[in-house]
Chains A and B, each alone.
Chain A
Amino acid sequence: MQRRVVYPNRVLPYLLLAPQIIITVVFFIYPAAEAIRQALYQQDPFGLNAQFVWFENFALVLQDPHYWEAARVTLIFSLAVTLLAMAPALLLAVMADRVVRGAAGYRTLIVWPYAIAPAVAAVLWLFIFHPDIGYVGQGLLALGIPWDYRMNGAQALLLVILVSAWKQISYNFLFFLAALQSIPRSITEAAAIDGASGMRGFWLITFPLLSHITFFLLVVNLIYSLFDTFGVIHALTQGGPGVATTTLMYSIYRDGVVNVDLGGSSAQSVILMAGVILLTMLQFRYLEKRVHY
């Protein structure tokens, strides 16, 4: 996807790209390549004793039934988180775009929770969801719902999905709102005069104008749900009960940081990365065709 009208210049684009590319190569691509190289070795954590094993780490990962279980959990988790993080955010953003009075207050209140330190957020979630000490947990029990995410895999998965989505709603809200605010008022007003207001007007006129940001958020949220949610899982369920909330990334995090199994966690990252790159390319290729710029 590119614009029709562009600037003809041979040197300038490279200069513009340089800062980002340099930082990316030095602090990202090089260390990442190093991490990926580790996927071909079996070694002790200190790197004193490394053995080149070709693709054995990959074979071990792919033969492990728990890995496929994690892939299944990841699929459910990511789709649910993406949907639950985007839809309410869009609703809230549209509402916040409509009101004039109190708009700033709402914006602050909705974005603010995003800023709570993750470590403290983990504690606060317990006070909300824990079956023994949490308000919502106790409430559910009082209603006769046997709420215990420590023992019920489905409930545990539901909990990490809700909390992960909740964390991301503020983010999506802000970008949806930014996009709504940059739609010229004249367009929506003209549409309203033509009789396209309310729900119909929104889907007919406004939403297509949001498609570029929706596409952006779709990509970002999928990647968020895949890569950035292990903190939530670690704080709430640590992947349990059993492996009910072990996503692919949580397994990488646990093998890499807690178990310091560099070969195994690198092999898992390579597989996950390859999958996500493929998925993202498909998104760009097929989904982006439907985006109106």
Chain B
Amino acid sequence: MRRPHNWLAHFILILGALIFAFPIYLAAIGSSHDAGTIGRGQMPLLPGDQWLTNYQQALQSGQGERVRGNPALGLMQNSLIMALGITFGKIAVSLLSAYAVVFFRFPGRMFFFWLIFLTLMLPVEVRIIPTYAVVADFGMVNTFEGLIIPLIASATATLLFRQFFLTIPDELVDAAKMDGAGPMRFFWSILLPLSRTNIAALFVIMFIYGWNQYLWPLLITTSSQMQTVIVGIVKMIGTGEAQTDWHLIMATTVLALLPPVMVIILMQRWFVKGLVDADK
């Protein structure tokens, strides 16, 4: 019964994908030309012939004629550690806290929920100076802990899991109780498996969030060994007054896209709807 609409679905999806993939296409095209072409404000629509040179340069040295970057590999390793740390941290702490808020009744429940929720409303840009002071007091400047831990608190993820946990039928909880499953058993063997699509979606989003952090790593790290790929890209772009090695920037951008894409592809299998649903 789904079949008759499929051509429409494909049409809409292809249209969406075209609109959404256009910037990616431009970046990829940009990474195949020389620097001047893009600098003149003439982003071509067709690929050039500099693919190999540009990517080799970006990966191995990050060194253009004019731009001194760090090799993209090292930068990406830093970004990967940071992004994974943030992603796992966020998902873990928010699963636990959403579980507490939804499945227990205790004094201060709503107070804590709103306390967590507040974090959405004062972005780091506004509280840079005091937040930096706290991180410096803990001696976490120039460390991965300093990059990761302050960004782990996540109201979004907590809210998402809360919304999802509220849809779990009471009967399921009752049944689990009847079977003698304690709260942690219920969490591990029933709640977690049910949350898999949400976790997968959140994983993708949070990974990209962590990967694309700019201002925070810029502030917290001063050693070039700790530089992330996004900070590296911004450094390559520079002030705009000077000439810029756009080909290298675009190549590094495309390289920097690969880990998020890997994550999306890895998470895909969690998105497959079971033909036989768990009895929920």
Interface residues of A, Cβ cutoff 8 Å to B: 1-10, 12-14, 16-17, 19-21, 23-32, 34-35, 88, 91-92, 95-99, 102, 104-121, 123-125, 127-128, 130, 132-133, 135, 166, 169-171, 174-175, 177-179, 181-182, 184-186, 189, 192, 197-198, 212-213, 215-216, 219-220, 223, 227-228, 230, 249, 252-253, 256-257, 262, 265-266, 269, 272-273, 276-277, 280, 293
Residues of chain B within 8 A of A166, CB atoms compared = 20
Within 8 A of A (CB), among B77-115: 92-94, 96-97, 99-106, 109, 112, 115
- Pick from B6, B23, B197, B277: contact of A186, CB under 8 Å: B277
Query: Separation in Å of the B180 CB from the closest CB of chain A?
Result: 13
Interface contact A212-B167, CB-CB below 8 Å? yes
Within 8 A of A (CB), among B190-239: 194, 197-198, 200-201, 204-205, 208, 211-212, 214, 229-230, 233-234, 237
Residues of chain B within 8 A of A262, CB atoms compared = 129
- Pick from B119, B156, B257, B277: contact of A116, CB under 8 Å: B257
Determine the interface band of chain B, counting residues with CB < 8 A from chain A. 35 or more
Residues of chain B within 8 A of A21, CB atoms compared = 97, 112, 115-116
How far apart sit A91 and B11, CA to CA, in the bound complex (Å)?
Answer: 12
Further 12 A-B residue pairs, CB within 8 A, beyond A6-B105, A107-B264, A265-B126: A2-B105, A7-B104, A17-B96, A20-B96, A20-B97, A21-B97, A99-B6, A108-B265, A112-B21, A182-B194, A219-B159, A293-B166
A-B contact pairs, 9 of them (CB 8 A): A7-B103, A21-B116, A104-B268, A107-B264, A108-B268, A112-B261, A113-B23, A119-B230, A133-B41
Given the known inter-chain contacts A98-B9, A113-B23, A117-B256, please indicate yes or no for A127 contacting B116, CB distance below 8 A: no
Residues of chain B within 8 A of A121, CB atoms compared = 23
Query: Separation in Å of the B127 CB from the closest CB of chain A?
Result: 4
Residues of chain B within 8 A of A177, CB atoms compared = 201, 271
Query: Separation in Å of the B185 CB from the closest CB of chain A?
Result: 11
**B253 (CB) vs chain A CBs: closest residue:** A120
- Pick from A23, A125, A170, A212: contact of B152, CB under 8 Å: A23
Query: Separation in Å of the A139 CB from the closest CB of chain B?
Result: 12
Interface contact A109-B9, CB-CB below 8 Å? no
Interface contact B159-A216, CB-CB below 8 Å? yes
- Pick from B2, B109, B280: contact of A184, CB under 8 Å: B280
Q: Report the number of A-B residue pairs with Cβ-Cβ less than 8 Å.
A: 307
How far apart sit A272 and B123, CA to CA, in the bound complex (Å)?
Answer: 12
Interface of B is mostly: helix
Given the known inter-chain contacts A4-B170, A13-B106, A32-B122, please indicate yes or no for A184 contacting B9, CB distance below 8 A: no
Interface contact A123-B118, CB-CB below 8 Å? no
Interface contact A28-B118, CB-CB below 8 Å? yes
**A212 (CB) vs chain B CBs: closest residue:** B163
**A201 (CB) vs chain B CBs: closest residue:** B1
B46 interfacial by beta-carbon distance below 8 Å: no
Interface contact B277-A228, CB-CB below 8 Å? no
Interface contact A95-B260, CB-CB below 8 Å? no
Q: Pick the interface stretch among B47-55, B56-64, B66-74, B130-138.
A: B130-138
Top 8 nearest A-B pairs (CB, nearest first) are: A133-B41, A115-B260, A31-B130, A184-B277, A34-B130, A16-B100, A13-B104, A178-B201
Given the known inter-chain contacts A13-B104, A253-B126, please indicate yes or no for A116 contacting B23, CB distance below 8 A: yes
Interface contact B97-A16, CB-CB below 8 Å? yes
Interface residues of B, Cβ cutoff 8 Å to A: 1-2, 5-6, 8-10, 12-13, 16-17, 20-24, 26-27, 41-43, 45, 92-94, 96-97, 99-106, 109, 112, 115-123, 125-131, 133-135, 149-150, 152-153, 156, 158-160, 163-168, 170, 173-174, 177, 183-184, 186, 194, 197-198, 200-201, 204-205, 208, 211-212, 214, 229-230, 233-234, 237, 249-250, 253, 256-257, 260-261, 264-265, 268, 271-273, 275, 277, 280
How far apart sit A24 and B90, CA to CA, in the bound complex (Å)?
Answer: 12
Interface contact B156-A20, CB-CB below 8 Å? no
How far apart sit A14 and B27, CA to CA, in the bound complex (Å)?
Answer: 48
Given the known inter-chain contacts A20-B153, A98-B5, A215-B163, please indicate yes or no for A128 contacting B96, CB distance below 8 A: no
How far apart sit A99 and B102, CA to CA, in the bound complex (Å)?
Answer: 34
Residues of chain B within 8 A of A114, CB atoms compared = 205, 208, 260
Given the known inter-chain contacts A5-B170, A192-B1, please indicate yes or no for A31 contacting B133, CB distance below 8 A: yes
Interface contact B96-A3, CB-CB below 8 Å? no
Residues of chain A within 8 A of B208, CB atoms compared = 114-115
Interface contact A256-B261, CB-CB below 8 Å? no
- Pick from B103, B129, B131, B159: contact of A3, CB under 8 Å: B103
Query: Separation in Å of the A143 CB from the closest CB of chain B?
Result: 18
How far apart sit A116 and B253, CA to CA, in the bound complex (Å)?
Answer: 7
Interface contact B237-A252, CB-CB below 8 Å? no
Query: Separation in Å of the A228 CB from the closest CB of chain B?
Result: 7
Query: Separation in Å of the B13 CB from the closest CB of chain A?
Result: 5
